[in-house]
Amino acid sequence: MSIDKATVAKIATLARIRVPEEEQEKLAGELSNILGWVEQLAEVDTDDVRPMTSVVEIEPVLRADEVTDGGRLDEVTANAPSPVHGFFTVPKVVE
């Protein structure tokens, strides 16, 4: 894909950066080279490659999902200014 000076000017406007007109031609060539590399990457066959989240194959450490410190509702809401039915109440902020 080839990028011209008008496209560089539009990209610069959208990115809110100032690119002097004398640098737009050079930048157009650089962006065209970058897009050429991206197009070349699209040709790589990745059908048999599993998606990965890390370069190291690790398994996450799992723990049992159990409540270990529950049943203390009165202690938790003891410092609340005005608890209602075991819940914290806050002033209305949306009108």
Q: Is the dihedral of CA 41, 47, 52, 56 positive or negative?
A: negative
* 72 occurs within a structural domain: no
**How many domains does the structure of the chain reveal?**
1
CATH number for the domain that contains residue 25: 1.10.20
Could you read off the pLDDT of 44-88 as tens digits, one per residue? 998 988 888 888 888 888 988 887 777 888 888 888 888 888 888
Which residues form the domain of 27?
5-42
Which residues make beta-bridge pairs with 84? 87
Confidence of residue 20 (pLDDT cuts 50, 70, 90): very high
